[in-house]
Amino acid sequence: MVYLSLSFRVKLDVEALNMVESIGNVTRHRRAPIVVKTSEGYLVRYVQVVSGESLAHAYQANLADLAVKLGLPVCPLCRRHEFLKHSDESLLKRDDAEPWEKDLAKKGIDAHTFESTVVKNCVVEDVGGFLYPQLTVKRTSKFQVSYLVPASEELEAVALEAQFHVRYAEEKEQQQIYWVETGSGVYTALFNLDIDGIGYTSSVKKEKVVDDEERLKRIKAAIQAAQLTFSNMLMGAKRTRFHPLWEITSAVLALSHPVAFAVSAGHRRNYIVSTVERARKQLDSLKKLGVGEDITIYYYIGNDRGVVEEPASGATRVELFEELFSKAIEYVEERVK
Ligand SMILES: [Zn+2]
């Protein structure tokens, strides 16, 4: 199993990436509770967040667009970023359904054939999974993503504030006042990718459904789509007027094989060092069990220099956040067969 795990910190100023409701003329930002350690123990703080669903939608949209550019198959709905997936029989009978989709509605199709046909014809559902309850086809997503939340050790530098705006009209009485809650702070998120699962069925049995060349192309697209999503901040809603100012301040990426290893969350300033120490422990214990594990770690330190601790050994530093993903692609080119 080749497994990719990424954790990063990003400084966002004046973001309105995930709004949840309007109360009168105020649009509210999504909030969620996080647990924070203080000198007296743990307490809960309510802070602005961007949901994992929002990030997952953005990642899949970026993956769909990239896959189309690479000539990889993407189904008509995913191409339009309508991630209904193949979740209901009615969707198979749409007017614009492709012949392979219409065939899936025929009687006698078994769960395995259903999954392998969808995986073969849609990279987004290969990587992002789908659920078809009628035949109990449950394809688990090959990627996982957390919420984007303020880093718990940087809560002194977090603010949520409603900004005043006026919608102009020629008649003064018709001008409208509105407020948008915007957040600023150092945020963190986690992203994992089960590279081994891409191009294989998994619901009923494991079987490869595309050839090696296409599988490698799909894996590279899945990694590159993560780079596009996070390094360009191609995610979140309300982007027309509220594009945030962003800066990735540090990140750590681990590639592991054959046992999965997940990096530490970026809440704490020692998260890169902690990742390296945990990897060392996992390597030791697997070695004792006779498993020849490999964990390769790359990290990036930008403006977090002097704030986030750097490991003395056990990981390679890259000069740019984007390089983490090219290193990951090099890794899979060597190992994925
Ligand atoms: Zn699709």
Res. 233 pLDDT band, cuts 50 70 90: confident
Ligand 1 centre to CA of 118 (Å) is 7
The pLDDT of residue 167 = 87
Ligand 1 centre to CA of 57 (Å) is 13
The pLDDT of residue 237 = 76
Q: Is residue 145 exposed (0-12), middle (13-18) or buried (19+ Cβ within 10 Å)? A: buried
The pLDDT of residue 146 = 98
Ligand 1 centre to CA of 121 (Å) is 8
Looking only at the bridges linking them, the beta strands covering 176-194 and 26-29 are parallel
Ligand 1 centre to CA of 331 (Å) is 27
Ligand 1 centre to CA of 65 (Å) is 12
Ligand 1 centre to CA of 206 (Å) is 20
pLDDT, one tens digit per residue, over 171-226 is 888 899 989 999 999 999 999 999 999 999 999 999 999 999 999 999 999 999 99
Average pLDDT of the chain, as a whole number: 94
Ligand 1 centre to CA of 200 (Å) is 16
Q: For residues 185 and 181, what is the distance between their CA atoms, to the nearest angstrom?
A: 14
| Cα distances (Å, whole numbers) of residue 316 to 38, 109, 172, 299, 322 | 32, 49, 60, 6, 14
The pLDDT of residue 155 = 93
How many CB atoms lie under 10 A from the CB of residue 8? 26
Residues 6+ apart with CB under 8 A from 106: none
Residue 337 has pLDDT above 80, yes or no: no
Q: For residues 332 and 298, what is the distance between their CA atoms, to the nearest angstrom?
A: 14
pLDDT, one tens digit per residue, over 40-89 is 999 999 999 999 999 999 999 999 999 999 999 999 999 999 999 999 99
The pLDDT of residue 318 = 98
The pLDDT of residue 244 = 87
Q: For residues 44 and 310, what is the distance between their CA atoms, to the nearest angstrom?
A: 29
Q: Check: CB of residue 139 under 8 Å from CB of residue 119.
A: yes
Residue 170 has pLDDT above 80, yes or no: yes
Q: Check: CB of residue 238 under 8 Å from CB of residue 275.
A: no
Residue 336 has pLDDT above 70, yes or no: yes
The pLDDT of residue 108 = 87
